[in-house]
Structure 1
Amino acid sequence: MPINKNAYNRYLIIDRCLQQGGRPWTIQDLLKAVEEDYLETTPDKNGVCERTLKGDLHNMKLPTHHNAPIAYSRRRGYHYTDPEYSIHKTPLTSEDLLILHQSLHTLKALRGLGLADDLDDLIQRLERKQPSAGAATNSILQLEAAPEYIGTEYLKPLYKAIREKTPLVMQYQPYREEQASSEVVHPYLLKTYNGRWYLLARNEAKGPHIQNYALDRIKGLSASSVAFQPTDTDFSTYFDHLIGVTIPERDSQVENIRLYIRAGRAPYVLTKPLHPSQVTVSQDTKGIEIEIYLIINQELKSRLLSFGPDLQVLAPDSLRDSMQKLLNKAVARYH
């Protein structure tokens, strides 16, 4: 069972006391030490009772916790039978190693992203520590991992530039352009969407509006001599009303979008909402009507198109008209 933070803080204080083997430690001595140290750093101002502290001493001795060699005698009080012991030296348990073994599958999914050159070495060192008996050999948890997309080699230099606030000269070729152009950008954030990496940055020539750049369209990077331009954009809320990564320079207001979804697809939308703002307006045997509050962008339209005939845009009219034009173009390709 995981150890909560407050209990672990008490364990550290008890450990520090018991390492001082030159004096006997009674339960009252330990309580006083905990109250003097623990209450200064812990929000719980109710104090620690003797029962709690005795429970801590018991738990510290458990193999699933720290397997601490704690003993008690009337002459020596509470003490470590091994004077060299400390919970800071506690080796990983077999349960810890099994958890790490399963975690390796998640770590390995990051190997191809270039964010940490030492990650492979870390994984190999962890694998050498796996328990041989009873260890899980097959993954029981698999995450969808992005393949080796073009452009992931730029993740590490972009991450470094963002952290060090370094403007960059970027050779960038949009999908519809035949040649790359040179652009000076002030990098702010790396983000994934739909299995693809994007850089969010300010373009020196285009002003403060945040631009996004797909990493697979970057053709080269170098440092720029211009002064870095910080942003006051709060990226913790930037995507609250977005699907995808794009906020249009025009028409960027949040819209109340009403959708009707046929009964066959309705359970998928109810159990996996299109967006956290989703609200069910009505529901019957034929389908459901929902509302979402989003900025309309191309990523949203692509998501709605993926529903095919099972979805109808009810409002706003601008999105309804846009979707109708896109669907008419799609139908025309089959004539």
Structure 2
Amino acid sequence: MPVNRNALIRYRTIDNCLRHKYKKWTLDDLIEACSDALYEFQGIDKGVSRRTVQADIEMMRSNKLGYEAPIVVVDKKFYTYSDKNYSITNIPLTNQDMQVLTEVADLLKQFKGFSHFTDVNEMISKLEDKIYVQKTAAAPVIDFEKNDNLKGLEFIEVIRKSIISQTALCITYQSFKARQASTFCISAYLLKEYRNRWFVLCSSHQRNAPLLTLALDRIISIEPDSGEAYRPNTKVDLSTYYSNLIGVTKSPKQSDCEVVFQVDHENAPYVITKPLHHTQKLLTENADGKVFSIRVVLNYELERELLGFGCRLKVLGPRILVKKIRENLRKALECYQEIPEKRPA
């Protein structure tokens, strides 16, 4: 059954609402959410009628689209899913869907050997695994790293659109160190992912404010219509801004340096097959292990990466980094100075 784009937007919006475990949704709430979504994605300023949303709910409950959504009403007022893990995005694929996806996967595989398309390799593997699971009803053979409890993912699309359209955003943000949230306007330039967390590189409209890298999971709210003019990036090359560091923490004027470290023979193969950074070089080998170098900015993420190897890795330079690593290890050792006595059974 063909479905128009506006209906799909409403279905997806209702689905997102009902998957929200920490809020109770009345029919009026769903109507407002659908109206907001149509305005955001389609520019439709006319609100959605009560009858339309009620019809959408009945359509999602039915098997006409294959959803058969377990939508129930609690306390004669609040809509929710009886199955807390349900989503319309998890419905089985039809045979026609499978045929199309198989053809797409075959087409994408042709680009695997080209360096310009290396970023699609993981996507192809995910797609092929999804097709295999659907066809055979077997367990997945690939388990990709994911975190379903990440916060802030709902802001990715609005930030992406603001970058493309070059419109300023007004955000309410609270860092882990701040006692209370603050509200200010930003011009966003780049979305960045690091270890399953998302960040946005932006400039604050506050006077003489430097470039900021803000974590999306610390954003409380975003107002797309800030009323302020967008400020284009004139400070950094976005294509290379993060290339000289591990993680996301740096300032525009911060320069990189050579970091030298030694890894014991047992763990050196792991560092060789999965380099800490694209600048990694093998310098030499001795009785204690292999010595490597990388050229990166000194930051918190680098320290955490190196400390993760524990006693298997020794930082040799620069001296300021050696001092920080030594201090971190000293504090860690202090945590284990007093080992509690074993309680009698």
The answer to whether TM tops 0.5 is: yes
What stretches of structure 1 of length at least 5 have no aligned partner?
1-91, 110-122
The change in CA–CA distance for 1:290 and 1:178 in structure 2 (over 3 A counts) is same
For each residue in 1:119-138, what CA deviation from the matched residue of structure 2 results, as whole angstroms up to 9, or x when unmatched?
A: xxxx9xxx8xx9x9x76855
Quick check: 1:216 aligned with 2:217?
Answer: yes
Match for 1:323 among 322, 325, 341?
Answer: 325
Letter in 1 for 2:326: Q
Structure 1 window deviating more from structure 2 (180-189 vs 232-241): it is 232-241
Once the two structures are superposed, residues 310-330 of structure 1 have per-residue CA deviations (whole angstroms, 9 ceiling, x without a partner) of: 111111111111111121121
Structure 1 runs (4+) greater than 4 angstroms displaced? 92-95, 97-100, 102-105, 134-138
**Residue of structure 2 equivalent to 1:191:** 192
Q: 1:105 to 1:269 in 2, by over 3 A?
A: closer
Q: Quote the offset at 1:157 in angstroms.
A: 1.2
2:272 aligns to what?
270
- Inter-partner Cα distance in structure 1 for 2:322 and 2:167: 42
Q: Kindly report which structure 2 residues correspond to 1:297-312, keeping only aligned pairs within 5 A, or say none.
A: 297-312=299-314
| Offset at residue 141 of structure 1 (A) | 3.7
* CA displacement at 1:145 relative to structure 2: 2.4
Structure 2 residue identity aligned to 1:239: Y
* Alpha-carbon contact 2:261-2:293 (below 8 Å) kept: yes
1 CA distance for matches of 2:126 and 2:284?
A: 40
Q: 2:261 is aligned with what amino acid?
A: L
SS in 2 for 1:280: strand
Larger Rg: 1
Q: Cα gap change, 1:206/1:281 in structure 2, threshold over 3 Å: closer, same or farther?
A: farther
Displacement of 1:204: 1.6
TM-score, normalised relative to structure 1 = 0.59
The residue type paired with residue 330 of structure 1 is: A
- After TM superposition, the score normalised by the length of structure 2 is 0.58
In 2: Cα distance, 1:200 partner to 1:140 partner: 36
1:158-200 alpha-carbon deviations (Å, 9 max, x no partner) = 1111111111111000002231111211111111101111111
Alignment match, 1:240: 243
Q: 1:98 to 1:215 in 2, by over 3 A?
A: closer
After TM superposition, list the pairs within 5 Å mapping 1:243-254 onto structure 2: 243-248=246-251, 252-254=254-256
Distance 1:103 1:295, change over 3 A: closer
How far apart are 1:99 and its partner, in Å? 4.9
> Residue 189 of structure 1 aligns to a residue in which SS?
strand
| Structure 1 counterpart SS, 2:210 | strand
The DSSP-based 3-state class of the residue aligned with 1:166 is coil
On the 8 A contact 1:98/1:136 being kept in 2, the answer is no
Pairs within 5 Å for 1:120-159? 137-159=138-160
Output the CA distance in 2 between the equivalents of 1:135 and 1:97: 19
Q: CA RMSD in A?
A: 3.2
Contact 2:211 2:251 in 1 (8 A): no
Counterpart code for 2:180: Q
2 CA distance for matches of 1:141 and 1:196? 21
Counterpart contact for 2:192–2:198, Cα < 8 Å: yes
